[in-house]
Amino acid sequence: MKFCSQCGNPVIQRIPEGDSRLRYVCEHCQTVHYQNPNIVAGSLPIWGSQVLLCRRAIEPRMGYWTLPAGFMENGETVEQAARRETAEEACATLRGLSLYMLVDVPHISQVHVFYRAELVDLEFAAGVESLEVRLFDEADIPWSELAFMTVKRTLECFFADRIQQVYPVRTESLAPLQQIKKT
C-alpha cells in the first residue's frame, strides 16, 4: 500500500498507539488501514451418493476441479456467499445448508468455509467461471486434478464421515507445504 484510500496522501508503516502490529497509517488524516484475511465461502453439494464439482474456467488453477466457492462479498452472510457462489459457478440451487468445514490458510490470509448441502434438483450447468459441472461418485473423484488442498480435505472428510452418517463441524489449518502446487 502506498496511498491512503481516504485522502490520497502517502502512507507509512508503523505500530499505532494501543496496537501491537505494524499497520499502514496515513500521517495526514490519521487513518489506520487494517488488512484482514479474505473469506472464501463454498458448498459441498450432494445428490444422493454423489457430489457436484466444477472444472474451473478461470485462474488460479484453470482446468482443475473444485467445489463451488469464492470470495465473500461485503453485505452478505457466509451462507449467502456460499449459495451465491454455487449459483454463479454451477447454476445450482441448494437446500439444507449445514456448516461443515472451516479451514484456516494463514500463509495466504484466507479462511475457507464450506457448507454441506443438498441439491434441490438436477438443474445445474456450467456458470461463467466453470468449464463444466458434474456429479461424481466417490470412486470417480479426480483426486489428482483437484484445484485446492482445502477442497481435497473437505472431500476426504466428507467421505470418511459419510460412513458413520455423522457430520461434525470440522476445523483445520493448512501450512504452505500442504498446498497443491500447479503442475
Q: In this predicted structure, what is the pLDDT of residue 117?
A: 98
Give kind and range of the element (H or E) at residue 171. strand 170-173
Q: Which CATH architecture has domain 38-178?
A: Alpha-Beta Complex (3.90)
122-131 in b/e form (b: 16+ CB < 10 A) is eebebbebbe
Whole-number Å distance between alpha carbons of 2 and 158: 44
Q: In this predicted structure, what is the pLDDT of residue 176?
A: 82
* Residues 141-154 pLDDT 10s: 999 999 999 999 99
Assigned CATH topology for domain 1-35 = Ubiquitin Ligase Nedd4; Chain: W; (2.20.70)
> Considering the entire predicted model, what is its pTM?
0.89
* Residue ranges of the chain with per-residue pLDDT less than 70: 177-183
| Cell numbers found for residue 179 | 498446498
**What residue spans define the domains of the chain?**
1-35, 38-178
